[in-house]
Homo-oligomer: A and B are copies of this chain.
Amino acid sequence: MQHIEIATLLKSEPSLHEVSVKGWVRSFRSNRFIALNDGSTIKNIQCVVDFEKFEEEILKKITVGAAIHVRGLLVESQGQGQAVEIQVSKVEILGEANPEEVKLTILSPKRHSIETLREQAHLRVRTNTFSAVMRTRSKLAFAVHDYFQKNGFNYMNTPVITGSDAEGAGEMFRLSSLDPKNPPLNEDGSINYKEDFFGKETNLTVSGQLEAETYAMGLGKVYTFGPTFRAENSNTSRHLAEFWMIEPEVAFNDLDANMDLAEDFIKYIITYALENCADDLEFLEERLFQDEKNKPQAERSEMKLREKLQFILDNNFKRVTYTEAIEILKRSKPNQKKKFKYIIEEWGADLQSEHERFLVEKHFKCPVILFDYPANIKAFYMRLNEDGKTVRAMDVLFPGIGEIVGGSQREERYDVLKSKMESMGIDEKELWWYLELRKFGTAVHSGFGLGFERMVQFVTGMGNIRDVIPYPRTPGNAEF
């Protein structure tokens, strides 16, 4: 008889047919009630054992963490909290879990710190919190594909290994197959990368945008969803050295259309999560609520988790120019009373997280899209406005998390791009292909990047980005 998933079983009607289920023991109370979980849902199925009918030898192996196979009738539950339960007729022990050894792990039924859970990342997905986070992550990832495919975008895979270091989004990891101790040298003493695997120096990509642009200019609408890398020594709750990024790029879209796309896309995936992860989000909401009880009032969230998600759906993202934002910030209380760490004195200042959060959480009290930033604090490929000093850049700012999307209309004019690259010291020989796009049927186009883990953090309410990816990579940590 084929076993059934617990998620399916919990939605079934009681029946006189025997059912079969496999999973891991979460608890075994009074030698009678097994709470069994198989990962298909956060909910356990209650399996009721008549201990007089089973051998002691079997019963004592039904311990927390053990894998078992249960057969029996699915009956209406007598207890609270579930509609159905299994009246067990047969138990088979698939894999034991020695209670003395379990005690030393996070599988043991007591409260473990989030840091301890992180150290046992190979086991943490068996806890309620992490199984809920990872199921939600999976659904969100699907929502990303679902949205873009429904809207006529083509998924493309941009290269992870890149021969270009001109992307300018951050520090890169170097890749090599040369003997690390005695690499071949050129006559001038530099390393001879011509002898390396790719015949040149290579790095891990920091963004697929430039390649995505080449495909948008042929397929029209494309998106990437792949790993990107930063070799930056940022030990924060918001940074990973390896993270997944989503980058749509659309031919003929100007900045307004780009903003529309970002807002529509974000609302779609949040709606998808609310509709498809109800049980997990209910659990995560309660977890966050309990967690914040230990915090001072001022640090607690104003809204509960799902209320916050609904809030995003119910509000138009407020679109504000950088120039307007600077005026608001200059006149703001925290600026005048010098409560900001970085005081805003004049136009041109780079905005810090504190400023973004002030705008979103205190001033506008809704998601904000800032646009038309000063050219000299933004990347070379952003389209210069007619004023000659701002570019068509945009950042989407969210409550509690700050920047969640960064994007722009791209500079489509050959001469403007070329001179911008020259003035910023970007080697034309490396990006000849990027420049060439502007020679053959160039057109207005736009795109943005969304760090997937930040979105998962936002939706699940997890405070640390290391807890929303299975095996986080951070400075000093590449375990598992």
Contact = CB atoms under 8 A, between A and B. Distances in A.
Interface-central residue, A67, A96, A444, A475, by most chain B CB under 10 Å: A67
Interface stretch (A77-85, A134-142, A303-311, A330-338): A134-142
Nearest to A63: B441
Interface string A401-422: 0000000000010000000000
A372 to B, nearest CB: 22
Given A39-B220, A158-B471, A163 B479 contact: yes
B439 A97 contact: yes
Contacts of A287: none
A113 interface: no
B475 A94 contact: no
A62 to B, nearest CB: 11
Interface stretch (A47-55, A191-199, A316-324): A191-199
Contact of A149 (B7, B125, B130, B142): B142
Interface in A131-190: 131, 134-135, 137-139, 141-142, 145, 149, 152-164, 171, 173-177, 180-181, 183, 189-190
Given A40-B220, A142-B149, A218-B125, A175 B155 contact: no
A97 B440 contact: yes
A102 B441 CA distance: 10
Interface residues of A, number: 109
Nearest to A473: B161
A478 B160 CA distance: 10
Nearest to A174: B176
Report copies per complex. Answer: 2
A441 B67 contact: yes
A119 to B, nearest CB: 10
Nearest to A199: B476
Contacts of A22: 251-252, 443
Interface string A427-455: 00000011011111111100000000000
Given A162-B478, A174-B176, 14 more contacts: A24-B441, A95-B440, A95-B442, A96-B441, A97-B439, A97-B441, A123-B436, A157-B227, A160-B160, A160-B227, A163-B478, A173-B177, A174-B177, A181-B190
Interface of A: 3, 5, 7, 22-25, 38-40, 65-67, 94-98, 101-102, 105, 107, 121-123, 125-126, 130-131, 134-135, 137-139, 141-142, 145, 149, 152-164, 171, 173-177, 180-181, 183, 189-191, 197-200, 202, 204, 211, 214-215, 217-221, 226-227, 229, 231, 233, 241-242, 244, 251-252, 412, 433-434, 436-444, 469-471, 473, 475-480
